[in-house]
């Protein structure tokens, strides 16, 4: 009995009256197969394909040019050979670039697992939303299965093998980028590359890191709004909602260079300037919001996401000035998100319709080019600053001077958030260790006790080498510095511990 | 006759194994100069895995674990897929027979 999805290699020896072809396999077994697709096999010709059985038990198959093409349709494990893994990986990446989108994760030993579907429901949701459009545009999305990576025990060498297939350039840029992102708490990103071999610019996607598994909803809100630890986010967004929005945004970003070009077939290098980055961010956030609502997501969560983005114009200032930290204005996509939330997108809309609508929104609401200054820092207008301050007041509560009992009541949302993360990762010592390394970045001031109590039940911490706390401390220090008036030594002791 | 075009080692290769450990395929990238060479067998010894031409000449495949080869070569669904390094075109995937290490005899 042939199991569903098994790859069959054989020769067609004849046809039945009902249109089925008689296929004799290499081992001599005979099966009747109905061929789908545009091409029918010739009698006497060799056939390769993946056999599936329909509801009536009929074997159906679509012709494939090689066993490899048939293999890559399903889940596959890949071992890189050769004494030049960079060359091997480059060839491998070329091959993957012509295949369909897939989720990548480290396998056993030095292998890589590649699967057309993910077991992570939030990531799969985002893939389902955009994969049809990616395939229509011939974009192979190498999405990293972040839940598996979080639970995996990887060393620098295995990480290299894992990352290199995404590195079409044949250099170490993709690996270095991925290492950096994983070391800083699995920072979500869409990583692209540009090839200029034929004189024509060819942009492709190295990898998509869809979301950070250790952020939680509060961490996500804090990161999006650039809120410091002296505030507590006021959000009803759940962890799953935050992961879906983040995954959808980063997968949609992978389509930006193809969909934001000046004309048909013209790619846009979306990373050339803050304005193009802003345009791509508007597109991706609009697409993520449209997809979120079109597939049954809460509209309130999308409006919260927009408010957090607008609040970043307040929290992302340099000191008390109207000057913004680098990248804040480019990520100010609140107008695009609100336009998407207000759009009349039917339930279950197609990926193509969602992406088309997102392009229109981005082009309509993105800030003009003269708002972005390459010489001086970006600034928000007085009107924007006032609005952002009001929104920030709604989205965050300042907790430094708050009565402690009130703070504990208010911190109940954060407590549930961190407890949910602890529950999620308690089964894996590796993931637990990474949670302990990265989650403290998002602990609100004066609520460290809640975090410590929640993580006390985690398994023994293991030194994973890559999980360096120093980067996070720096990041935290930068945040503290951003809202401090005086010198660094004052800042260091300014946060009361509990 | 010794083929001067043959490199000592092919350094671009990988193994792809399907779901439930099904249908292992070894892809080996072949440089342009070797395009016309006809490989007929693949086998291994203590030093590693190698391809064998119709004239019993050998070309090693870098970093291919012999034990992994032993495991795969016993399977009837194991396939070798040669790919042109420049064009990425397939140079055939059914012609090369895996040969267990003790059965590979050369220069006879």
Whose CA is closest to A349, among A292, A308, A281? A292
Same domain? A30 vs A126: no
A chain contacts of residue B9, beta-carbon cutoff 8 Å: 83
Q: Are strands B58-61 and B13-18 parallel, antiparallel or unpaired?
A: unpaired
Q: What is the average per-residue pLDDT within A463-486? A: 43
Same domain? A83 vs A206: yes
Domain boundary among A213, A244, A260: A213
Q: Closest CB to B12: pick one of A71, A75, A84.
A: A84
The C-alpha atoms of residue A290 and residue A339 are separated, in whole angstroms, by 9
Strand (E) or helix (H) holding B45 = strand B39-45
Report whether pLDDT(A129) > 90: yes
Q: Do A81 and B64 touch (CB under 8 A)?
A: yes
* Any domain includes A354: no
* Any domain includes A308: no
The C-alpha atoms of residue A281 and residue A245 are separated, in whole angstroms, by 13
Best probe of the A interface among B9, B18, B79, by most A CBs < 10 A, is B18
Report whether pLDDT(A63) > 70: yes
Contact of A77 with chain B, judged by CB distance below 8 Å, is answered with yes
HSE value, Cβ hemisphere, 13 Å, CA-based, for B94: 10
A190 forms beta bridges with A208
Identify whether the C-beta of residue A141 lies closer than 8 Å to the C-beta of residue A114: no
pLDDT attached to residue A361: 96
Same domain? A161 vs A202: yes
* Any domain includes A176: yes
The C-alpha atoms of residue A100 and residue A464 are separated, in whole angstroms, by 33
Q: Model confidence at A473, in pLDDT bands (50, 70, 90)?
A: very low
Whose CA is closest to A149, among A188, A98, A91, A206? A188
Q: Do A78 and B14 touch (CB under 8 A)?
A: yes
The C-alpha atoms of residue A112 and residue A81 are separated, in whole angstroms, by 12
Measured from the Cβ of residue A107, the count of other Cβ atoms closer than 10 Å reads 20
A245 forms beta bridges with none
What residue numbers bound the domain in which A67 lies? 2-73
Contact of A95 with chain B, judged by CB distance below 8 Å, is answered with yes
Q: Do B16 and A82 touch (CB under 8 A)?
A: no
Q: What is the pLDDT of residues A361-399, one digit of tens each?
A: 999 999 998 898 767 788 999 999 999 999 999 999 999
Domain boundary among A163, A187, A213: A213
Q: What is the pLDDT of residues A176-194, one digit of tens each?
A: 666 666 666 677 777 666 5
Q: Do B10 and A92 touch (CB under 8 A)?
A: no
The mean-pLDDT minimum among A1-15, A48-62, A172-186 falls in: A172-186
Best probe of the A interface among B19, B22, B75, by most A CBs < 10 A, is B19
Strand (E) or helix (H) holding B68 = helix B66-73
* Any domain includes A373: no
Identify whether the C-beta of residue A153 lies closer than 8 Å to the C-beta of residue A111: no
* Any domain includes A343: no
A chain contacts of residue B19, beta-carbon cutoff 8 Å: 5, 74-76
Which are the contacts of B80, defined by CB distance < 8 A and separation ≥ 6?
A: B25, B26, B28, B42, B51, B93, B96, B98
Same domain? A50 vs A157: no
Whose CA is closest to A367, among A266, A273, A257? A273
Q: Model confidence at A276, in pLDDT bands (50, 70, 90)?
A: confident
What does the block give as tokens for A380?
Answer: 């928000």
Measured from the Cβ of residue A386, the count of other Cβ atoms closer than 10 Å reads 12
Give the number of domains in chain A.
3
Closest approach of A139 to chain B, Cα-based (Å): 19
Identify whether the C-beta of residue B90 lies closer than 8 Å to the C-beta of residue A66: yes
Same domain? A89 vs A26: no
Percent of chain A whose pLDDT exceeds 70: 76
Identify whether the C-beta of residue B62 lies closer than 8 Å to the C-beta of residue B6: no
Whose CA is closest to A80, among A126, A131, A125, A114? A114
Q: How far is CA A420 from the centre of its chain?
A: 20
HEC sequence for chain A: CCCCCEEEEEEEEEECCCCCEEEEECCCCEEEEEEECCCCCCCCCEEEEEEEECCCCCEEEECCCCHHHHHCCCCEEEEECCCCHHHHHHHHHHHHHCCCCEEEEECCCCCEEEECCCCCHHHHHHHHHHHHHHHHCCCCCEEECHHHHHHCCCCHHHHHHHHHHHCCCCCCHHHHHHHHHHHCCCCCEEEEEEECCCCCCEEEEEEEECCCCCCHHHHHHHHHHCCCCCEEECCCCCHHHHHHHHHHHHHHHHHHHHHCCCCCCCCCCCCCCHHHHHHHHHHHHHHHHHHHHHCCCCHHHHHHHHHHHHHHHHHCECCCCCEECCCCCCCCCHHHHHHHHHCCCCCCCCHHHHHHHHHHHHHHHCCCHHHCCCCCCCECCHHHHHHHHHHHHHHEEECCCCCHHHHHHHCHHHHHHHHHHHHHHCCCHHHHHHHHHHHHHHCCCCCHHHHHHHHCCCCCCCCCCCCCHHHHHHHHHHHHHHCCCCCHHHHHCCCCCC
Burial class (CB in 10 A: 0-12, 13-18, 19+), A15: middle
Contact of A402 with chain B, judged by CB distance below 8 Å, is answered with no
A chain contacts of residue B61, beta-carbon cutoff 8 Å: 81-82
The C-alpha atoms of residue A426 and residue A459 are separated, in whole angstroms, by 7
Which are the contacts of A289, defined by CB distance < 8 A and separation ≥ 6?
A: A245, A302, A305, A306, A336, A337, A340, A341
Residues of chain B with pLDDT below 70 are: 1-4, 88, 92-95, 102-108
Contact of B107 with chain A, judged by CB distance below 8 Å, is answered with no
Identify whether the C-beta of residue A193 lies closer than 8 Å to the C-beta of residue A174: yes
Specify the residue for token string 């119709």.
B54
Same domain? A64 vs A116: no
Q: Do B85 and A6 touch (CB under 8 A)?
A: no
* Any domain includes A385: no
* Any domain includes A177: yes
The C-alpha atoms of residue A209 and residue A145 are separated, in whole angstroms, by 8
Q: What is the average per-residue pLDDT within A41-55? A: 88
Strand (E) or helix (H) holding B70 = helix B66-73
Work out the mean pLDDT of chain A and round it to a whole number.
Answer: 81
Same domain? A83 vs A69: no
Q: Do A76 and B16 touch (CB under 8 A)?
A: yes
Same domain? A58 vs A124: no
Closest approach of B15 to chain A, Cα-based (Å): 5
Report whether pLDDT(A262) > 60: no
Q: What is the CATH number of the domain that holds A60?
A: 2.40.50.140
Same domain? A197 vs A82: yes
Q: Are strands A46-53 and A189-195 parallel, antiparallel or unpaired?
A: unpaired
Report whether pLDDT(A162) > 60: no
Best probe of the A interface among B27, B72, B94, B98, by most A CBs < 10 A, is B27
Report DSSP state, residue B67. H
Q: Closest CB to A66: pick one of B26, B77, B81.
A: B81
Q: What is the pLDDT of residues A416-438, one digit of tens each?
A: 999 999 999 999 888 888 888 88
Best probe of the B interface among A48, A50, A67, by most B CBs < 10 A, is A67
Same domain? A160 vs A198: yes
Same domain? A68 vs A146: no
CA end-to-end span of chain A, whole Å? 65
Same domain? A57 vs A85: no
pLDDT attached to residue A217: 96
Strand (E) or helix (H) holding B91 = none
* Any domain includes A253: no
pLDDT attached to residue B105: 55
pLDDT attached to residue A483: 37
Domain boundary among A58, A73, A88: A73
Full DSSP string of B4-24? TT--SEE--EEEEEEGGG---
């Amino acid at each position: 009995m042939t199991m569903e999805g098994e790859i069959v290699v054989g020769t067609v020896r004849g046809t039945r009256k009902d249109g089925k072809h008689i296929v004799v396999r290499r081992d001599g077994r005979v099966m009747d197969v109905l061929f789908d697709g545009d091409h029918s096999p010739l009698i006497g010709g060799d056939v390769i394909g993946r056999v599936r059985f329909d509801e009536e038990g009929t074997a159906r198959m679509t012709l494939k040019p090689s066993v490899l093409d048939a293999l890559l349709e399903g889940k596959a494990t890949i071992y890189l050979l050769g004494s030049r893994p960079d060359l091997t990986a480059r060839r491998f990446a070329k091959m993957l670039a012509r295949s369909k989108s897939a989720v990548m994760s480290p396998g056993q030993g030095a292998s890589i697992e590649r699967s057309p579907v993910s077991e992570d429901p939030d990531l799969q949701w985002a893939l389902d939303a955009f994969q049809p459009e990616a395939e229509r545009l011939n974009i192979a999305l190498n999405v990293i299965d972040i839940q598996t990576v979080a639970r995996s025990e990887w060393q620098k060498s295995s990480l290299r093998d894992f990352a290199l297939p995404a590195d079409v350039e044949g250099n170490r840029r993709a690996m270095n980028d991925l290492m950096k992102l994983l070391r800083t708490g699995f920072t979500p990103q869409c990583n692209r590359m540009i090839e200029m071999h034929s004189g024509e610019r060819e942009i492709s996607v190295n990898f998509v890191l869809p979301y950070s598994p250790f952020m939680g909803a509060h961490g996500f809100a804090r990161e999006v709004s650039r809120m410091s630890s002296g505030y507590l986010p006021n959000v009803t967004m759940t962890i799953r909602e935050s992961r879906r929005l983040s995954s959808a945004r980063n997968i949609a970003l992978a389509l930006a260079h193809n969909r934001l070009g000046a004309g048909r077939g013209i790619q846009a290098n979306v990373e050339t300037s803050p304005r193009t980055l802003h345009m791509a961010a508007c597109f991706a956030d609009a697409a993520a919001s449209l997809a979120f609502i079109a597939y049954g997501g809460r509209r309130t969560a999308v409006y919260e996401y927009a408010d957090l983005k607008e609040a970043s114009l307040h929290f992302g200032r340099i000191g008390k000035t109207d000057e913004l930290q680098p990248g804040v204005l480019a990520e100010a996509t609140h107008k695009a998100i609100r336009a998407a939330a207000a759009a009349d997108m039917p339930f279950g809309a197609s990926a193509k319709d969602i992406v088309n609508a997102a392009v229109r929104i981005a082009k309509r609401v993105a800030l003009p080019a003269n708002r972005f200054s390459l010489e001086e820092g970006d600034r928000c207008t007085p009107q924007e600053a006032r609005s952002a301050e009001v929104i920030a007041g709604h989205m965050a509560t300042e907790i430094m001077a708050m009565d402690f009992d009130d703070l504990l009541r208010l911190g109940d949302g954060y407590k549930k958030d961190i407890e949910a993360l602890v529950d999620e990762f308690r089964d894996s010592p590796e993931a637990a260790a990474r949670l302990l390394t990265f989650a403290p970045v998002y602990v609100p001031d004066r609520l460290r006790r809640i975090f410590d109590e929640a993580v006390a039940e985690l398994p023994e911490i293991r030194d994973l080498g890559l999980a360096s706390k120093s980067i996070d401390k720096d990041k935290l220090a930068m945040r503290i510095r951003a809202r401090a008036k005086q010198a660094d030594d004052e800042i260091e002791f300014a946060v009361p511990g509990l | 006759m010794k083929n001067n075009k043959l490199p000592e080692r092919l350094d671009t290769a990988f193994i792809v194994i399907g779901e439930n450990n099904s249908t292992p395929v070894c892809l080996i990238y072949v440089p342009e100069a070797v395009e016309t060479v006809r490989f007929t067998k693949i086998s291994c010894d203590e030093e590693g895995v190698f391809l064998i031409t119709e004239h019993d000449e050998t070309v090693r495949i870098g970093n291919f674990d012999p034990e992994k080869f032993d495991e795969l070569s016993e399977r009837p669904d194991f396939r070798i897929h040669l790919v042109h390094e420049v064009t990425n075109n397939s140079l055939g995937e059914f012609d090369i027979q895996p040969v267990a290490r003790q059965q590979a005899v050369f220069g006879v």
